[in-house]
Structure 1
Amino acid sequence: MIFDELDAHLDRVPGTVSVYVGRLDAAPTWTRHPQATHYAASTMKVAVLVALHRAAEAGRLDLDSPVPVRNEFDSALPGAIRFSCAQHYDNDDAVWARVGGTATLRWLAERMIVRSSNLATNLVVDHVGLPALADVWARAGARHSVTGRGIEDFAARDAGITNLVTAADLAALLGGLARGAARPGPLAAPESCVAMLDTLAAQEHREDLAAGLPEGTRIALKNGWVRGVRHGAGVVYPDDAPPYVIVVCTTTDLADGGPGGEEVEDDACRLIADISTVVWNARHELRVAG
């Protein structure tokens, strides 16, 4: 009943609000437009993280070897000129301070998640390659999500090459990581899944899903935002109930964003926090396996 009431409330929200809520090994308890596609914003960085760890497991990359930190990247559009990131559109000056120097891929991946650095993301994508991201989505069982280009690759964007997610696909990816931490799965070895979940749990942008939880509650989280878009996707670990996946994707005028790419607490952010609170309060009633 509580989710029916929340659905009725969301019917009055302008734009599209997609939701997926469910325990790890059970069918979802509540979904709302789970297959609707949204611009991915920074939620695509979870797929980048998984691709990096898969490459390290395969011996193709060393997470702790230093790599050059530069701001010039090949476009996903064949024949387009190389592109660069704008610092004012990033969220992490620490990565920019290393331009011209080096950093380890492990450190760049951490900054990509905990501060949502776009420069760090493009550097990691440069090392793993876009086909590896497609492989991650396929292994997760995603149906509609795609990571077709790096961040601020405007030539590719203008040619229709984009990054898309759905609530169901993000739930499959996050849920796969959480299940993979306990037993071998298709995404990565258990030790890699544990490391990735720890990185996601260190997320410093906590104004949406995390804000709807009691302080100190563990959530392995990645969010994303641009003007008109606000998403939150995470695995919540209550002390008194089994873990559950919650994903809320919004494409709405309520996502006012900020000038440039900085994180701001707008109405869409507060809406996601409110949904998170409702789900937390219903955590004992979520559907169980079988």
Structure 2
Amino acid sequence: MTWEDLDARLDEVPGTVSAYVGRPGAGPTWTRRADATHYAASTMKAAVLAALHRAAEAGALALDAPVPVVNAFDSALPGAPRFACARDYDNDDVVWDRVGGSASLRWLAHRMIVRSSNLATNLVLGHVGLPAVAEVWALAGARHSVTGRGIEDFAARDAGITNLVTAADLAALLGLLATGATHPGPLASPAGCADMLDVLVAQEHREDLAAGLPAGTRIAHKNGWVRGVRHGAGVVFPDDAPPYTVVVCTTTDLAHGGPSGEADDDACRLIADISARVWAARHDL
């Protein structure tokens, strides 16, 4: 396979397919429309995770302190009423079972990533705030990604307030976490970055990037999906080659938007195939 061959194949895919492949801390090996913006879906949760750890390291909150688990959130649209999440639109009943009780921010952040819980995301976001997430994107050097609202904030969505990502920006964010786990960086301490990577490695939705890798391969990743959108962003840690970042963002009719792991989701299969091709080239990135 050559990168030109892969580009030619992706030219035939309906919609927009963006990609970024390279070593963390180095320039890209291959990109494709890497600065094209896509609706973020749940990939924005990686930036929320980083904002939480930054706030904890600054002493603004305690990761292990219990916080109330509620389902009522302030809208990003000034003057709009508070909004709530829908349980049937979420991927994690475990968090919903805590409503009316309490949980630690660390636990909520874990569920936000490994099961992509929307309720946990809004709870964490309510404690760190949107400006803190914007600071994470800025520190990562993101040029186009924006986290403007929480999940299911429909009043803000209808007013044009949205969440956007690019393949290049997601690669920059995850690359900083990977390099920051061994060398001090702008996002968090090495211990904090290592903790975040461990959460991303525990990701349970493994139908896209991870599906293209040999079983047991370590990958720290976050994906996201709604109808018409499927993204996978991760750092792969091969046993026989240096780590590499691989991000694929798709806005396409191939993304069916149903539960993660649907056997007939062509966008999942497309991302898995790209991941497998990058894995095959891992020694030459």
TM range (shorter): over 0.9
Measure how far apart 1:26 and its partner are: 2.0
Contact 2:225 2:257 in 1 (8 A): yes
Structure 1 consecutive aligned stretches of length 4 or more whose deviation exceeds 2 Å: 261-265
Aligned twin of 1:75: 75
Contact 2:45 2:113 in 1 (8 A): yes
Aligned twin of 2:128: 128
Q: How does 1:182-201 map to 2 (within 5 A)?
A: 182-201=182-201
Contact 1:75 1:81 in 2 (8 A): yes
The CA RMSD over aligned residues, in Å, is 0.8
Contact 1:41 1:225 in 2 (8 A): yes
Structure 2 portions without partners, runs of 5+: none
1: CA distance, partners of 2:162 / 2:133: 13
Measure how far apart 1:159 and its partner are: 0.1
Contact 1:69 1:100 in 2 (8 A): yes
Q: CA-to-partner distance for each residue in 1:65-94, whole Å, 9 max, x for gaps?
A: 100000000000000010000000000000
For the residue of structure 2 that corresponds to 1:9, the secondary structure is: helix
1: CA distance, partners of 2:202 / 2:27: 28
Q: How does 1:57-68 map to 2 (within 5 A)?
A: 57-68=57-68
User: What TM-score, normalized by structure 2, do the two folds share?
Assistant: 0.98
Structure 1 portions without partners, runs of 5+: none
Measure how far apart 1:263 and its partner are: 5.1
1: CA distance, partners of 2:113 / 2:269: 21
Aligned twin of 1:225: 225
1: CA distance, partners of 2:42 / 2:3: 27
Contact 2:25 2:176 in 1 (8 A): no
Paired residue total: 284
Q: CA-to-partner distance for each residue in 1:254-285, whole Å, 9 max, x for gaps?
A: 00122xx6553400000000000000000011
Q: CA-to-partner distance for each residue in 1:149-205, whole Å, 9 max, x for gaps?
A: 000000000000000000000000000000100110001110000000000000000
Aligned twin of 2:204: 204
Q: CA-to-partner distance for each residue in 1:117-161, whole Å, 9 max, x for gaps?
A: 000000000000000000000000000000000000000000000
Contact 1:89 1:262 in 2 (8 A): no
1: CA distance, partners of 2:23 / 2:253: 30
2: CA distance, partners of 1:2 / 1:210: 21
Aligned twin of 2:9: 9
Aligned twin of 1:162: 162
For the residue of structure 1 that corresponds to 2:126, the secondary structure is: helix
Contact 1:90 1:262 in 2 (8 A): no
1: CA distance, partners of 2:104 / 2:25: 35
2: CA distance, partners of 1:25 / 1:166: 18
The letter of the residue matching 1:284 is H
For the residue of structure 2 that corresponds to 1:29, the secondary structure is: strand
Measure how far apart 1:239 and its partner are: 0.3
1: CA distance, partners of 2:186 / 2:262: 35
Q: How does 1:240-251 map to 2 (within 5 A)?
A: 240-251=240-251
2: CA distance, partners of 1:124 / 1:262: 22
The letter of the residue matching 2:39 is Y
Contact 2:43 2:224 in 1 (8 A): yes
